[in-house]
Amino acid sequence: MLLLPLLVTLALPTARAFPEHLSTFLHKNIEGAGKCVSDSHNGHVHGEPESEMAAFFDVSQTRLAWPNTPQSDFDGVPSPPLEIQPLVVSGPSSNRVDLVFFSDGYLQEEREKFIQDATRLASDISSNQTFDTVKPLMNFWAAFTPSKESGVGVGGKPKDTAFGLYRPGTELRGVYYAKPEVAGAACSSLGDQCDYPILLGNDPLYGGLGGRFTVITPSLANGASILRHELGHSIIKVGEEYDGGEGYFGVNAHADLSTPVPWAHWLTNSTNVRVERSVMPMQDYAWALLNTTKPWSVTFESSGTFARHLVRFSVSGLPEAADLQVDLDGTDLGWVPRANIGLDRWHYNLYREGGLSGGPHTLTFTLLNGARVPAAQMCNAEILEFGDESEFVSTPGHYSLYPTFSFENVTTYRPTNEDCLMRLVTTPNFCKACLEGLWLKLLRDVTLIDTIDESCAPPASSGPTPTSTLTLRLVPLAQFRTSAVAGLDESYTVTWSKDGVVLPAWTNKTQVDAAPGTYAVDVKYTTTEVRVDPTNLLTAHMNYTVSESSCTRA
């Protein structure tokens, strides 16, 4: 609501111009793998362009490629040439949610690299995790356009590439696009084959952007993580679950404890609805470039009333354990980089049993290896304090009310401690509340019945009446999946009727021999991943008439 004026400005400019205020808006609303991408201009972190999403909620019950941008903004802008390649395809685009990777900064001779990068990312987020169970509702495509230069621009200057991707500086933060109108025309030219455009910039390191176009890189450590987090925002329409963000909304957020909990049906103990006890005494999105002259440090106060604490931070440009020392009150926390991280960025979580004493504490980042200047960077740091296990259940799989602290230290609540990729980008899966939201959102745009096909059955030897064979084509869930999902309990129930009378012999059949007449089929899908379906999105209905002449013998 608060951000509505921005919506208006976002919708007004023609995409050709890409005016400064739109650019500022995009800069402010940059997202990158959780809490680490922020706005350099005003010094505090920003999350998603949630204003865009709020608008999407408000104005659109149906899919649109660009929530706030009328199609006409792209009138007259030609699409670049696109070479489409299927990556993961489950059915017709008319009844699927289609994600398309568009290439930026890939030369003609790097076409194969683009296909490999897009294939790896699509496979990472759909083969055994994240979108695995909903994959039959989705298609993933690659759309190749050669660029004249390789890579993404730096220092705010795009290269000569298809969509003009660039980093504002050299830091591993946001990657922006200079040619939204070209990206818009590209997606638009694909019609219903492009619901969620993803601009894949040919750069090996961390970077991305959420919003109208999801921007990512094929970074081995971070590409898939940023992608799935951004798709969580853009598809499910949920906000952050991490601390220090700006937007907390949707099925994973609860602001007012006097109102019903959105995930009440997922609570582990619904007779004991409580807030898990924790506090965030410090967060700093410092984006400090480290040097060997002076360590970077921050001092904060603890109340001294908590049993446990966590030091959470992200750094980049620091490939070796000997490059950096992280101390809390002069004690070396024993930081070691993620294996093979190289110069890329990564998030670290140092959990510590025992409470912090009441009073001031100092967290210090000391660069030990001067050769890492100027890449070495402390992106952000945060301290969390927790009660003991009886006050704060840290066990995975526990659903309760966990406090989340915004960049202004406003408290909202999330469903789990750290089960969700909307909180912890290093986790590959959504929490159950988000996952249920994903099902319901996708099923707003996909009906469980793809079609009914009619063919002529061989005439019955005993009678003169020719019959038709009806084949009910369902979205390939449950027994129709091409590969079963371990641990997922799901089923289809199929009920046929003729002239309003149920045909019990046909229950659960997807192929029936039908005499002329009008049939109705009702399909209900059940999955343990959806507990509440208020608008019956997990059902489908279709009528079908077999005419007298359908299968008359020639």
Ligand X SMILES: *[C@@H]1O[C@H](CO)[C@@H](O)[C@H](O)[C@H]1NC(C)=O
Which chain residues interact with Zn ion by CB under 5 A? 31, 47-48, 240, 252, 420, 422, 431, 434
- The token pair that represents 274 in the structure block: 């409580």
Question: What distance separates the 2 farthest-apart alpha carbons in the chain?
Answer: 96
Q: Is 296 in the site for ligand X (CB under 6 A)?
A: yes
Cα 167 off chain centre by: 21
Decide: 227 and 214 in contact? Cβ < 8 Å: yes
Window 201 to 230, contacts with ligand X (CB under 6 A): none
Contacts of 405 (CB under 8 A, 6+ apart): 243, 244, 280, 283, 411
Say whether 116 sits in a helix, a strand or coil.
Answer: helix
- Which residue's CB is nearer to Zn ion, number 38 or number 202? 38
Nearer to ligand X, 132 or 149 (CB): 132
Cβ atoms of 406 and 374 closer than 8 Å = no
**Smallest separation (angstroms) from ligand X to the CB of 126:** 10
Report CA Rg, the chain.
26
Q: Cα–Cα distance between 102 and 199 in angstroms, integer?
A: 5
What does 434 interact with, of Zn ion, ligand X, none (CB < 5 to 8 A by kind)? Zn ion
Q: How many residues bind ligand X (CB under 6 A)?
A: 24
The Cα–Cα gap between 377 and 32 comes to 16
Which of 520, 522, 539, 550 is close enough to bind ligand X by CB under 6 A?
520
Q: Does 234 bind ligand X (CB under 6 A)?
A: no
- Which residues on neighbouring strands pair with residue 331, listed in sequence order? 328
Measured in whole angstroms, the distance separating CA 2 from the mean position of its chain's CA atoms is: 24
Candidate list 511, 536, 543, 545; residue touching ligand X; CB under 6 A: 543
Phi, psi of 545 (to 5 degrees): -110, 125
Q: Binders of ligand X among 372-411, rule CB under 6 A?
A: 409
Q: Which of 60, 508, 528, 552 binds ligand X (CB under 6 A)?
A: 508
Report d(CA 324, CA 334) in Å as an integer: 10
The site partner of 507 among ligand X, Zn ion, none (C-beta below 5 to 8 Å per kind) is ligand X
Q: Would you count residue 483 as binding ligand X (CB under 6 A)?
A: no
Asked if 511 is part of the footprint of ligand X (rule: CB under 6 A), the reply reads no
Closest listed residue to residue 533, CA positions, set 449, 442, 398, 401: 442
Binding characters for ligand X, 253-272, by CB under 6 A (x = yes): ----------------x-xx
Cβ of residue 422: shortest distance to Zn ion, in angstroms? 5
Shortest separation between residue 300's beta carbon and ligand X, angstroms: 7
Q: Which does 271 bind (CB under 5 to 8 A by kind): ligand X, Zn ion, none?
A: ligand X
Tokens of 450: 């793809």
Q: Is 493 in the site for ligand X (CB under 6 A)?
A: yes
Please identify, using beta-carbon distances, which residue of 249 and 300 lies nearer to Zn ion.
249
Cis ω on the peptide bond leading into residue 374 (within 30° of 0)? yes
Binding of residue 331 to ligand X (CB under 6 A): no
- State the minimum distance, in angstroms, from the CB of residue 254 to ligand X: 18
- Residue with Cβ nearer ligand X (272 or 549): 272
- Contacts of the segment 413-417: beta carbons below 8 A, 24+ positions apart: 413/253, 413/254, 413/255, 413/257, 413/261, 413/275, 414/241, 414/252, 414/253, 414/254, 415/252, 415/263, 415/266, 417/276, 417/392, 417/393
Is 357 among the residues that bind ligand X (CB under 6 A)?
no
Query: Which C-beta is closer to ligand X: that of 132 or that of 513?
Result: 132
Q: Is 116 in the site for ligand X (CB under 6 A)?
A: no
CB of 475 to Zn ion, least distance (A): 24
Q: Which does 282 bind (CB under 5 to 8 A by kind): ligand X, Zn ion, none?
A: ligand X
Residue 288 binds to ligand X (criterion: CB under 6 A)? yes
DSSP 8-state secondary structure symbol assigned to residue 6: H
With contacts defined by CB under 6 A, name the span among 107-115, 247-255, 279-287, 309-317 that binds ligand X: 279-287
Among 9, 23, 193, 291, binds ligand X (CB under 6 A): 291
At residue 188, φ and ψ (nearest 5 deg) are -60, -40
498 binds ligand X (CB under 6 A): no
Q: Which residues bind ligand X (CB under 6 A)?
A: 128-129, 269, 271-272, 279-283, 288, 291, 293-294, 296, 409, 491, 493, 507-508, 520, 541-543
